[in-house]
């Protein structure tokens, strides 16, 4: 049985050593996962935005409820001519069309466009997934009708970078407020490193004696919603080579049960069980997950 990571490759982090010294680069990736319907059954659609020295691009993967990787298309780092276009795939004998227009897209520091774009996935005459703020242009281009029910944004994985502060934005529920999330961690030669998490500049969690509590979980409240936060900062404190700390924010009330069920033996495998939990939750519709891989700048 294929699990989520093997179905959609996540080899986004590349480490290279040169004879003149350690030269390390990590590709900037944001992976967004949506639950929708295709060919009359539930499916998971994964959109991965990427950015590296060659440029920016994205990939689309479609995975069905039987854990079969149906198809995947990569739009490689683009030249100007590739910022607008379309591709079609065949899924179970049926044609699926992918349309995109990023010619006017605006980006922040990450690879995910913020505005001025659309990405549309079409099956038959129906819109399966529509991303971006140019919805009128997308419907006019694709000549489709809205779906009977909207796709649900269920999880996100992101690589973030910093020295002691790591920032991103997150929306923990449908139509909820977009929050600023900041992770602060001073390590180095400190005798008592601490980990703090801030939501909209307000501290909601602090872990003291981090050397002893480098892995753990704690519940916080955001918009009145309980969110389970899991962390693993072992690589920051004890890693011999460059490595990321991993954080998971899970809105599901049964998150701890899911977490423990996939960590029966080795908590050091946190990124992989995170993805297994990620996969199981996608198909069961259990809340929203945000997984952050935090990389230290040297």
DSSP 201: T
Helix and strand counts by DSSP (H, E) for the chain: 5, 21
- Is residue 217 within 8 Å of residue 229, measured between CB atoms? yes
d(CA 13, CA 295): 10
Q: Which pLDDT tens digits describe the chain residue by residue (298 residues)?
A: 333 232 223 332 222 222 223 333 456 889 999 998 877 778 889 999 988 777 788 988 888 665 555 567 777 756 555 788 898 887 777 788 999 999 899 988 788 998 999 999 998 888 999 999 999 999 999 999 888 778 888 889 999 988 889 999 888 876 678 899 999 987 666 677 889 999 999 999 999 888 899 999 999 988 888 899 999 999 888 875 667 899 999 986 554 444 443 433 333 434 434 444 444 444 444 578 899 999 987 6
Both tokens of 281, joined, read 């939750």
What backbone torsions phi and psi does residue 257 show, to the nearest 5 degrees? -65, -45
Location of structure tokens 């897209």: 105
Torsion of CA 243, 190, 230, 204, to 10 degrees: -130
């Amino acid at each position: 049985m294929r699990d989520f990571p093997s179905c959609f490759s996540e080899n986004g982090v590349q480490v290279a050593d040169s004879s003149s010294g350690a030269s390390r680069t990590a590709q900037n990736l944001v992976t967004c996962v949506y639950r929708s319907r295709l060919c009359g059954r539930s499916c998971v659609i994964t959109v991965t935005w990427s950015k590296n020295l060659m440029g920016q691009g994205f990939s689309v993967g479609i995975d069905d409820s039987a854990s079969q990787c149906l198809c995947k298309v990569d739009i490689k780092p683009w030249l100007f001519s590739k910022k607008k276009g379309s591709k079609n795939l065949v899924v179970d004998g049926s044609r699926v069309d992918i349309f995109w227009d990023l010619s006017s897209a605006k980006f922040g520091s990450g690879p995910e466009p913020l505005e001025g774009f659309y990405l549309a996935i079409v099956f038959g005459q129906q819109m399966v997934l529509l991303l971006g703020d140019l919805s009128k242009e997308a419907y006019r281009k694709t000549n489709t009708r809205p779906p009977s029910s909207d796709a649900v944004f269920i999880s996100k994985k992101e690589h973030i970078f910093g020295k002691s502060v790591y920032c991103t934005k997150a929306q923990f529920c449908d139509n909820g407020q977009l929050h600023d999330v900041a992770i602060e961690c001073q390590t180095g030669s400190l005798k008592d490193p601490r980990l703090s998490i801030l939501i909209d500049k307000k501290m909601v969690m602090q872990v003291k004696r981090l050397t002893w509590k480098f892995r753990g979980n704690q519940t916080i409240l955001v918009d009145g919603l309980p969110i389970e936060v899991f962390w693993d900062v072992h690589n920051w404190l004890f890693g011999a080579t460059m490595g990321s700390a991993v954080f998971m924010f899970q809105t599901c009330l049964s998150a701890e049960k899911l977490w423990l069920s996939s960590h029966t033996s080795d908590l050091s495998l946190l990124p992989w069980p995170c993805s297994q939990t990620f996969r199981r939750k996608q198909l069961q519709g259990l809340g929203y997950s945000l997984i952050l891989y935090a990389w230290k700048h040297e």
